[in-house]
Amino acid sequence: MSADAHRHPTPAAPAAPSPGAPAQPGASPAGPVPHAGTPRASASGAPAPASSAHQAAPGRNPAGADPQAAVPSSYGTGVPAAPGPHPAAPAAQPASAGDTAPNGAPAAPVQGPPVQGRPPASGTGVRLDRRASDEGVAGGDDYTLQAPDPRVAPEPHAAVCVACRAGRVDDDGYCENCGHAQPRERDHMEQECGPVAAVSDRGLRHHRNEDAFAVGTTTLPDGAPVSVAVVCDGVSSATRPDEASLAASRAANASLLDALPRGTHPQQAMHEAILAASEAVDALAGEQLSEARDHAPQQNAPACTIVGAVVTAGLLVVGWVGDSRVYWIPVDRSAPAARLTEDDSWAAQMVAAGLMGEAEAYADHRAHAITGWLGADAYELEPHTAAFKPDRPGVVVVCTDGLWNYAESPDDMAEAVPADAAARPLHAARVLVGHALDGGGHDNVTVALVPFPAVPQGAGSA
């Protein structure tokens, strides 16, 4: 989530397209809406806590939710990508000839200083107030980091550090040898399910990934294929935003994959899925013990935004609450790209209601406060849904503001989407995440790509 927020009462939201009323995706449902961020606005009028999107990440991550794990393939929920190559462990530097310990025994290999104040892995580490040369080690001015003693190697099944490839990883996720923080499972996730693909990344500024996604495929009662993508963005100023986004994405995806094969109209199924996601996030607030609330009364309820898309052979349905978005990109670029959602934000509602001009609204300090979200402390929930019947093949881009902050207009998004995105959606999703990281990566970045029309099951990307 991004930017500072002030809680403020909101005017009535613009009416969403009614169920069963498809439209051509030549423009967004309510006209172009300028950029908006994602902190919440509330009725109390008090300022909301600032998001961490533009702040440097803290040194260590506080205890949070269990990392997102793989779930049955029907859910299509994101799983961690395989780690890439990492540097080999540094070679041990022998002590110089004649070096001895105080008791006359040969000196043990010297290990480098602990990282971030962590204690050395053994009693042979150098002191932080002396150079290596002061400890009797040849080499002079630098502290040296030695390979761990093979006699105290990690257990066969213990996690091994991805940096030094030798130290054991402790329960806090740090290497006991070099002190390197290990990547968490949700730091980077990729998933491909049939023709649908999604990628999520922590970004460069956040200390954890508060986004989540779920993708899947199924069939309608007549056997026609249908693809589903759901993306959720945790509200950073709320409690447990990472848990909220994960619970919402899973609940919405499960609801869609259950309702569509039973013949529920895709737009009605999307409406019901958002309600199911809301209930899942509300349940997180109910799990908090009264004792915990007494000790931390300032904590608010878990919250997140949601956006989803359902693609059939001839129909595209989108649904959302918050400021995550859906874009339509024609494959051959023969028609204009379009944004298919309208942000639930203070500035967008001021403009839509005619109360302020666009320039004035977005210059206001309340501009980037969201006015719709899932959570126990949200206003009356108003899921938005819209249906479209595109007249040509295209790609549906479902994303959080961590991406559209760097490609806000439909034309900018079309330019960032690779030309072969419909044929290679996973590759294209990786390219889009890279585009956001290259732009600064101030927020978590999540994007799902769904080719239109829906592709029969088994026809995945190359």
pLDDT digits (tens, 9 = 90+) for 375-428: 999 988 989 999 999 999 999 999 999 999 899 899 999 999 999 999 999 999
Tell me the C-alpha distance between 22 and 341, whole Å. 14
Q: What is the mean pLDDT of residues 360-371?
A: 84
- Global confidence as pTM: 0.66
Q: Which residues neighbour 213 within 8 Å (Cβ) at sequence distance 6 or greater?
A: 77, 78, 189, 191, 198, 200, 229, 230, 231, 232, 249, 446, 448
Tally of residues, the chain: 462
Q: Give bridge partners of residue 61 from the DSSP assignment.
A: none
Q: Where are the alpha helices (DSSP H) in 290-374?
A: 290-295, 346-352, 358-363
pLDDT value of position 11: 43
Going by DSSP bridges, is the β-strand pair 196-201/374-375 parallel, antiparallel, or unpaired?
A: unpaired
Closest by CA to 216, choosing from 108, 405, 320, 76, is: 76
Res 269: pLDDT: 98
- CA-to-CA distance for 340 and 445, rounded, in angstroms? 19
Q: Are 391 and 24 in contact (CB under 8 A)?
A: yes
Look at residue 383 in the predicted model and tell me its pLDDT.
96
Which residue(s) pair with 384 in the sheet? 320
- Do residues 232 and 251 make contact, with C-beta atoms less than 8 angstroms apart? no
pLDDT digits (tens, 9 = 90+) for 12-57: 444 444 444 455 564 444 433 333 344 555 444 333 433 333 333 3
Strand partners, 168: 160
Give me the mean pLDDT over the 241-269 stretch: 98
Helices 241-259 and 266-286, interaxial angle, to 10°? Answer: 150
Which pLDDT value is given to residue 460? 47
